[in-house]
Structure 1
Amino acid sequence: MTRDEVGELDRTLEWLLGPATDRLSRRLAEVAGLGAPEARALLDAAREVLLDVVRRKVIRVLVLELNAARVTGALTADDPAGRWAQFLAHAAEESYWHGLTRHYPHLVGRLRATVENRVAAIATLAGRFAEDRPRLAALLGADAGELRKVEFGAGDSHRGGHSVTLVHCTGGTVVYKPRPMEVDQRLAGLLAVLTAGDRYPIRVPAAVVRDGYGWAGHVDHRYCATEDELAAFYTALGHWLAVMRLVSGTDLHAENIIACGPVPVVVDCESVFTPRPPHPPTGAGEATDRVAEQLNRTVLRTGLLPGRGAGLGWRGVDGSAMGGLPGEQPDIGLPDLVGAGTDTARVAIVPQQLPPTRNLPSPHPRLAHHWPRVVAGFDAMAERITRLDRAGALEPLLAGFADCVVRVIVRDTESYTELARMLWHPAGLHDQAAAEGRARALLARHSMNTRGPGDPDVHAAEVAELLVGDIPVFTTTPAEGWLHTPGGLVCGPRVDQVALALENWRTADLGLERRVTHAALVSAYLNQGAEPELGRLPAPPPDRTGLDRRRRALAAGLVRELAGEAVRGADGTATWFAPILDRSGWQTTPLTPDLYGGTLGVAVLLAGYRHEVAAGRADAVDGVAELLAGTVRTARLTQRWWAEQAEHTRRRPDPTGGYIGLGSQIWCWLALDRLGLAADDEGDPVPDALFLARQLPAAIAASEGPDLVVGTAGAIVPLLLLAERTGDDQWVDLAAHAGRALVADAVVTGGRAHWPAPNWPGGIGGFAHGATGIGWALGRLAEVTGERRFADLARGAAAYEETWYSAERGAWMDPREPDTVAAAWCHGAIGVGLATDDPEVLRRAASSALRDGIGWTHTLCHGDLGTWELLTAALAAGVAPDGLDRAGLDAMVLGSLEANGPTTGLAREVYSPSIMSGSGGIAYQLLRMHPDSDLPSVLLLGDGPAR
């Protein structure tokens, strides 16, 4: 909405806000020590925040009633603009709103309660400011002087409309915090000891502590001025990571840290020494539960490390204190008024980029470059803490937190926001009792999934606060550890959280903490193959001797490492944790049951290894059969659990993708069938593929994009393979249904076809997410169905991909990074070359691959083993670069692996069994390197050996 459109709507709220601000004006006039200009500043700010709060709550009702008036003929003006004006004039009358109570019985009462809470909270702030004005000199270094401006709403409102507020005075700016602030003082004292002697000590703002509230110094954001300051900043982030691990800190997201030159300042530290319930059972088996609980104890819990959101509306967003990098955030859908000024206005979800936050130390942070400093900073501060503990000085420092009131984040704000949206939706306002029941049921389900408070009275109290615009707050004191909940209830066991935090520090696996920290770096980036800080690996002189012996040794070593890294459960399950790619982005979690980085991809590797050993093409490794059985069991449990969740919680269907999602799982089960899994105790894999295929119709209907990796195109080839395996043409029909969806979404111009996608409304090239992969899938579909439209669109996709080819550079350009070349499977030459049936395109792709695609990593997705597959195809077709032969190619790949060790990308210090982005795929391609190997291509979703 434009400011003019906002102003027009706001006139409809004057009946409510005019009297409320009049009452506030009278209350402010009674505050001793508050001048008339100061009262006006408060009143102006109050009016602005009240308009914003109420507007957001009633906009859907107003739009619905506008369209109802248009449809029923109640608006009689001659044109849409006139009818809009007529409606607004009517809606500006108080009687109109009282008339709405026939349809929305509690609307007016809830609006009045919301506004009155805010008015009372602002009046309280005014009185506190007037009383505390002399004390604020401790924060400003001078008298506060006259209040000039107020900014309400620097955060959510809680407990009767109270919110963090910026107060600008002639003497400077202070921050009003309507919560107990003793914890801020105690943390400042701890930091003073831990950072003594540091040039740039980490800190929290100075605080003036009052009874139940307080004032904090304001921190101005400033970018680092020099490389030395940047180095200090990232070292300091590592210091914070260790400190927050010590004090069980949580909720350290981007808005809670401000970069003040070389010092990251934590401006909201209320969530420390918070109870940590054990991770609830996942339904995926004991191994997955063990990994989840291990991760739940680590620095991942702090919120400092990069991580991608999974919640509705915030999927893929990295809101962490260390992340949120420019250019690495997806668009998010936010509700906005579309068509304002006409009688067809509507509320629509509009893609938007999140505004920049103040946690970043430079406009273009080089996070990957500086990440070693984060880890080194963690190590250095951890050593200081341990020395302090050994000297007997740590426990007394922590004891000072025992009686501080701290906040416990039981549910994230995004979850509450979605519940509030439901409760303020016209349907929720029409039948409030039903909406409250749904909200309580969702809270109960959330509590089961997170081990949160399960008392129905607690849920009812949470809903009561959401009904009047507040976000519920849970608190505790570290000495007692039980939860004080909305509504005044107390729940949970009594546990001394200070003693527990100290014990957890003393028993911490700091090696695991470092590994998790390294792994989390990947989550800061949307695409692992495009990291700016990856350097090329040294290339040793080619050695053509003993190639098969060396290949076998490398493959066996990788499989032994895979077995050694596995986490196993007493129930026979097995899994790993690593940075994996899911529909939300890169996450550090237990493996999901996908091909790209999940358990089913690992199962294909293990089954393939066993197959190659039986054929005499690989060396035996102990425990492969048992590990395969455990991995398959984990995958089966997980996919069944996911299906049950989808049925009972009505969550969005799983993705359709061929590498992440149902398509990928179907392909894996079929590959396992080809590799002899049905002959073992693990059971026939085909029923698993059918179980997943039956979920695809709903998943295709809900698909979030057209691409091959996670989207609609990814379902096509696995369905065609399933039809071939079962002889059931219904799966061809379903693949054709997916193809028709792609036809409907295609944009064809001048014979070139592309598909709009999230973050890429104009389309994108490449195999993984772009036109080449979609066109390849449609081409395979055309071969089976004979439908010309699929074949035509496949050719159009190839023509579109050609627009990204630079004849001058002899390579495909990367649309994600201007003026850079892409030569990977996911984007650029490797994927284009593998997908094509044009020898000239294959020749150009092979030339670019050898020049641009070798030496970055060893992975299938964006490394040497993916490039190897393209170059072998070029050799077989007779279009390989001059001077390249198969022995030389194999020698080059094997030599790099031996000289550099398996290298998997940005988080190269962290083990990953991933088929596409980790060492699992390296091992798999080493098996396929044998000239007689009949293992299926992962990069082209091949069908593998004959049954």
Structure 2
Amino acid sequence: MVLRLITTPPPDPVATVVDDAVRRVRCAAHRLPRGELVHPAAITAAVDRFAQDAEDLLGRTVAQEFHLFRTERDAPADPASTTALAAFDAHLRAGGVDQLWRTYPVAARRLDRLAADRLDQLTTILTVLAVDAPRLHALGLLPPGPLTAIDIAHGDPHDGGRRVATLTVDDAASPSLVVKPRSADPDDLLGRIVALLDADTAGDHLRLPRCMAASTGDLSWHEFVSATTLPDDADAAARFHRRAGRMLAVFTALGSTDGHAENVVAAGDHPVPVDVETLLHPATENPATADPLTCALADGPLGTTMLPTGSPSSSMAALSRAGTRTPGGADAHRHVHRGTDAWTVAAVPATVTATAHRPTAPGTSVPVPLTDHVDDVVTGFHTAVRDLARRRDEIHRLLDDARATTCRRVVRPTAVYTAFLDAARHPRYLTDAAEAERLFRLLPESATGTAAVTEAEIAALLRGDVPRFADRVDAPPPVGPTPLARAHRCLDTLIRTPPAALEHLVRSALAGVDTPSRSAPARTAATDLQAALQDPDPRSGLARIERRLAARTVRQGGAGPALGTLDALPGASPDADPVLTAGDRTLYHGGGTALLGAALARIRPTPARRRRLADAAAAVTRHAEDQVLDLREGVPAETGRAWCPFTGALGTVWLLRELAGSGDRAVGARTRDAADRLLTTVLDTAVGPDRLDVVGGLAGGVVVLTEFGLADHPAVRSAADRLAAALHGGEIRERGLAHGVDGLAWALARVDGHAHRARLVDLPDDATAGDSWRRGAAGSSWCRGAAGLALCHTEIALAAGDTPAAVAAAATVPEPLETDDSLCHGETGVVAILRRLALLLAPVAPDAAADLDEQADRRARELQDRIRRAGYATGHPGHVGVTTFMTGVAGIAFGRVLTESRSSVTDAVDLPDPIALRPSRVAREG
């Protein structure tokens, strides 16, 4: 006798709850007319997918009800038992499901709507397929054989739950056909433009998926493109990346906005775009509220989303590394111990795994490193731009002929909608429709939308849909030009932009793309700014940089010549139309470049410099007056960062005080008055800031206010108590001066009576501790690196009277680890810290101070030599080279003067030290 062990699957309460809806959909689906082409298995697959979606909708609610059921019966959460789970499942089958629907009526309605929408879409697909099958067979889009799977599960639900579906023939390993609930017009337009460009190209032709308009206007059929390995030849990877560069240029020329990793498939040596519904798109930024730099970047290569613009660990760009990302900002909900008495649902950071966009070599599964082929991307990009220039008039005509094309308009990132919809699955929002509506009304009006658009978004979310807006490309959007007009503009702008500038932008975005945690900026050479930085006399170089920044801003018609600029395309010649420049009033960005003018007015005053400084002072004063009004009216964006010394109101106070000591008396009086009024407003309206760190919030504000002699002010004392509580309560775990726990301790050490609290942070009091301490640093920089830690702990030790610990801390500045030259992230900031450490230690440890000065001399020479040989490296998000203060060329020029020789010379010039947040003597005494 053979005994068979029969195992019974554990009860599944979620399946029990949705069982009635699944049975209804199954019965209705199998009664639909399907013809001989569609095998019953295809209908079964569609129903199975519906069952999964239904369980996803209700899983959290059923899990919560099980938790209540188990708790009421004092049953333990035992992962080795199913007793309580079986009892709960029996309870549901005995009338508990009906009780659940009475408790969660919104859930019942959403499940019914999901079932109706899914049946409606399945009916449409079967009906249209019956009509279009002969044409699909003739075009080779639909292979012979029975249809064995229909999977309505791709993309987001729009317009009544309609989603992208795939069709599989004869149980093939991958689908054969994709059906999309939209027109094929964008694909047809792209096909015509690519065919025009390919006619001029001997090789590297682009591949697009074949497609066909369905017999109904709101559906289209598309070839399913599978990821395949590269051909087995030496040039295959290079061809792939040249084609990727060509695609980047085409998308840039058309103003396309959706070239992310999930919309591109690496099919052999072709990067194939599989979703171009936003091929033509209105402006993604509102020119009335966004700064000109942001608007210009959005109209260039970065706006295509093919290039990474953030950390490689989160970037979803088509030209980014393969692997798992954590985009941030949303949670995913995972069932834990499902099928046991310990079943619960846990929130974990949402991750996205993207691999199909990167090519792999034959016989391997390892993606080809993108950093090995940046030159190929640039080559393909330049080639396509030249082709676009030759065919410019024809492309303009193709665009005009396509004015009836319908494209999607993305009002805000789709991830925002999915986060709201995920939140709406919480049981709280499934009990009362009014609760769900209150949740969705937290959605703010988007920068490119209107109140009516927001109402339409909320209505779609209430239906369980991701809002989708589509219109003809010649239809005016709520903000900015039509998509058609923007495409014409993007094409012309791309063609007239200097090739060197475009290349810098692409290389900067791709620099360090295969590094999991941190990008590296590209170097910029052969520009007027590099020539100025090479000047043997740092003060002369500072003057040249200041003149060039002023000229760029005047040419752009910006917010004032001495406010500085963000010049994201430094390859543009001085006489060319500057493509990407913008004024910015914050100390960290463009406003800090006014310090160049202030320094020059003290070092070598001239009438022209004084005029520019007066302009800057007037502009910053106007900005301060706006901030006073905003703070008094409680504008959240201003009150949340009022204490910030770099991008908030205290940074403006810093600037005004520095400018007041550098101009004529009348200008100085007005500027000083504006600084005093703004400072008083900050202290009178003191509220808990959004952030506690040095760069963004309270700690930086405490440092600045103590420098201005306000350590005993009640608001500063209260802020110090808040920092102490955060420091010792473990609220901040990150290390570093700018954003970490060390910066909080550094701020506390500046306030009399709080040095003992700051000392509770470990100091590098011996070699072992020092090594451990440095391992908390991210690189060698001022902001997150070891140099910033050294400055923090040297000052903390000196405040506590511990000279040996101060000397030990100062000795931990490492040799260069960065490829950036800026004050914030790079070597200029490290040299400035070495000078500051020497100044701090000179009275108590002169030998150590002399060693630090010698290090600073050597590293300043090495930095200057590197800039001379290879160009300068700066960066802001996306590592676009900039001319701003803390992250750009202006800061490098200022830092050269700040650190040009030993500290006594710097004191003679009387410059502020932004690295140590120390204002100049003029500003402190004023």
Give the TM-score band, short-chain normalised.
0.7 to 0.9
Post-superposition Cα deviations, 1:807-859, rounded to whole Å, max 9, x if no partner, equal xxxxx56876xxxxx43334544334333437778878888868546986364
Equivalent AA in structure 2 for residue 469 of structure 1: G
TM-score by length of 1: 0.77
Change over 3 Å in CA distance of 1:888–1:184 after alignment to 2: closer
Change over 3 Å in CA distance of 1:323–1:707 after alignment to 2: farther
The answer on 1:866 being equivalent to 2:799 is no
Counterpart in 1 of 2:531?
none
Aligned partner of residue 745 in structure 1, secondary structure: coil
The answer on 1:824 being equivalent to 2:781 is yes
Change over 3 Å in CA distance of 1:528–1:768 after alignment to 2: farther
1:708·1:767 contact (CA, 8 Å) conserved in 2? yes
Counterpart in 1 of 2:601?
610
The answer on 1:220 being equivalent to 2:226 is yes
1:847·1:881 contact (CA, 8 Å) conserved in 2? no
Post-superposition Cα deviations, 1:107-148, rounded to whole Å, max 9, x if no partner, equal 312220122201321343344445544544456588342334
2:252·2:301 contact (CA, 8 Å) conserved in 1? yes
* Per-residue deviation, 1:267: 0.5
The answer on 1:938 being equivalent to 2:918 is no
- Counterparts of 1:83-232 in structure 2, within 5 Å, are 85=85, 88-89=88-89, 92-93=92-93, 95-100=95-100, 102-129=102-129, 132-137=132-137, 143-170=143-170, 173-196=176-199, 197-211=201-215, 212=217, 213-222=219-228, 228-232=235-239
The answer on 1:917 being equivalent to 2:887 is yes
Q: Distance in 1 between matches of 2:317 and 2:777?
A: 26
1:662·1:696 contact (CA, 8 Å) conserved in 2? no
Aligned residue among 530, 537, 549 for 1:550: 537
Q: Distance in 2 between matches of 1:370 and 1:332?
A: 32
Change over 3 Å in CA distance of 1:464–1:884 after alignment to 2: closer
* Per-residue deviation, 1:887: 6.5
The answer on 1:481 being equivalent to 2:475 is yes
Equivalent AA in structure 1 for residue 277 of structure 2: E
2:181·2:220 contact (CA, 8 Å) conserved in 1? yes
Equivalent AA in structure 1 for residue 491 of structure 2: W
Equivalent AA in structure 2 for residue 281 of structure 1: A
Post-superposition Cα deviations, 1:356-383, rounded to whole Å, max 9, x if no partner, equal 3432346567556644544443332222
Q: Unaligned regions of 5+ residues in structure 2, if any?
A: 1-7, 361-365, 527-533, 570-579, 798-802
Q: Distance in 1 between matches of 2:388 and 2:465?
A: 38
Change over 3 Å in CA distance of 1:671–1:577 after alignment to 2: same
Aligned residue among 306, 309, 319 for 1:307: 309
Equivalent AA in structure 1 for residue 911 of structure 2: L
Q: Distance in 1 between matches of 2:499 and 2:468?
A: 30
Aligned residue among 589, 593, 601 for 1:598: 589
Query: How many residues were matched structurally?
Result: 858
Equivalent AA in structure 1 for residue 407 of structure 2: V
Aligned partner of residue 22 in structure 2, secondary structure: helix
Counterpart in 2 of 1:378?
381
The answer on 1:254 being equivalent to 2:258 is no
Equivalent AA in structure 2 for residue 476 of structure 1: D
TM-score by length of 2: 0.78
1:556·1:620 contact (CA, 8 Å) conserved in 2? no
Aligned residue among 489, 505, 511 for 2:497: 511
Aligned partner of residue 559 in structure 1, secondary structure: helix
Counterpart in 2 of 1:739?
724
Equivalent AA in structure 2 for residue 184 of structure 1: D
Equivalent AA in structure 2 for residue 322 of structure 1: L
Change over 3 Å in CA distance of 1:908–1:738 after alignment to 2: closer
The answer on 1:465 being equivalent to 2:450 is no
Counterpart in 1 of 2:758?
790
Q: Distance in 1 between matches of 2:493 and 2:101?
A: 59
Counterpart in 2 of 1:318?
315
Counterpart in 1 of 2:15?
11
Aligned residue among 834, 838, 845 for 2:791: 834
Aligned partner of residue 688 in structure 1, secondary structure: helix
Q: Distance in 1 between matches of 2:135 and 2:468?
A: 28
2:323·2:355 contact (CA, 8 Å) conserved in 1? no
Aligned partner of residue 788 in structure 2, secondary structure: helix
Aligned partner of residue 194 in structure 1, secondary structure: helix
Q: Distance in 2 between matches of 1:454 and 1:477?
A: 21
Equivalent AA in structure 1 for residue 546 of structure 2: V
2:912·2:918 contact (CA, 8 Å) conserved in 1? yes
- Comparing 110-119 with 221-230, greater Cα deviation is found at 221-230
* Per-residue deviation, 1:554: 0.9
Counterpart in 1 of 2:566?
577
The answer on 1:336 being equivalent to 2:330 is no
Equivalent AA in structure 1 for residue 733 of structure 2: P
Change over 3 Å in CA distance of 1:497–1:559 after alignment to 2: closer
Q: Distance in 1 between matches of 2:701 and 2:11?
A: 48
Aligned partner of residue 475 in structure 1, secondary structure: strand
Post-superposition Cα deviations, 1:548-607, rounded to whole Å, max 9, x if no partner, equal 971221111121122123266687695633579xxxxxxx99676554x42443344443
2:166·2:177 contact (CA, 8 Å) conserved in 1? yes
* Per-residue deviation, 1:903: 3.9
* Per-residue deviation, 1:155: 0.6
Change over 3 Å in CA distance of 1:933–1:360 after alignment to 2: farther
* Per-residue deviation, 1:219: 1.9
Post-superposition Cα deviations, 1:897-945, rounded to whole Å, max 9, x if no partner, equal 5565544369999652333221121122233234423323222222431
Aligned partner of residue 155 in structure 1, secondary structure: strand
Counterpart in 2 of 1:802?
770
1:307·1:523 contact (CA, 8 Å) conserved in 2? yes
Change over 3 Å in CA distance of 1:231–1:672 after alignment to 2: farther
1:860·1:922 contact (CA, 8 Å) conserved in 2? no
Q: Distance in 2 between matches of 1:374 and 1:634?
A: 45
Q: Unaligned regions of 5+ residues in structure 1, if any?
A: 283-287, 310-314, 484-490, 539-546, 581-587, 747-754, 758-764, 806-811, 817-821
Aligned partner of residue 187 in structure 2, secondary structure: helix
Post-superposition Cα deviations, 1:59-117, rounded to whole Å, max 9, x if no partner, equal 4434554555567x4x4646677785267426744954543455544331222012220
* Per-residue deviation, 1:863: 1.6
* Per-residue deviation, 1:470: 2.0
Aligned residue among 13, 31, 35 for 1:32: 35
Change over 3 Å in CA distance of 1:214–1:647 after alignment to 2: same
Change over 3 Å in CA distance of 1:844–1:647 after alignment to 2: closer
- Comparing 430-439 with 791-800, greater Cα deviation is found at 791-800
1:256·1:267 contact (CA, 8 Å) conserved in 2? yes
Aligned residue among 743, 756, 777 for 2:733: 756
Counterpart in 1 of 2:613?
625
Q: Distance in 2 between matches of 1:11 and 1:338?
A: 14
Equivalent AA in structure 2 for residue 265 of structure 1: V
Counterpart in 1 of 2:53?
53
- Comparing 427-436 with 262-271, greater Cα deviation is found at 427-436
Counterpart in 2 of 1:541?
none
* Per-residue deviation, 1:891: 5.3
RMSD: 4.8
Q: Distance in 1 between matches of 2:160 and 2:131?
A: 21
Equivalent AA in structure 2 for residue 58 of structure 1: L
Aligned partner of residue 163 in structure 1, secondary structure: strand
- Comparing 923-932 with 551-560, greater Cα deviation is found at 923-932
Q: Distance in 1 between matches of 2:854 and 2:423?
A: 62
Counterpart in 1 of 2:573?
none
- Comparing 169-178 with 897-906, greater Cα deviation is found at 897-906
* Per-residue deviation, 1:670: 6.7
Equivalent AA in structure 2 for residue 475 of structure 1: A
Equivalent AA in structure 1 for residue 703 of structure 2: V
1:578·1:589 contact (CA, 8 Å) conserved in 2? yes
Equivalent AA in structure 2 for residue 857 of structure 1: D
Counterpart in 2 of 1:312?
none
1:713·1:739 contact (CA, 8 Å) conserved in 2? no
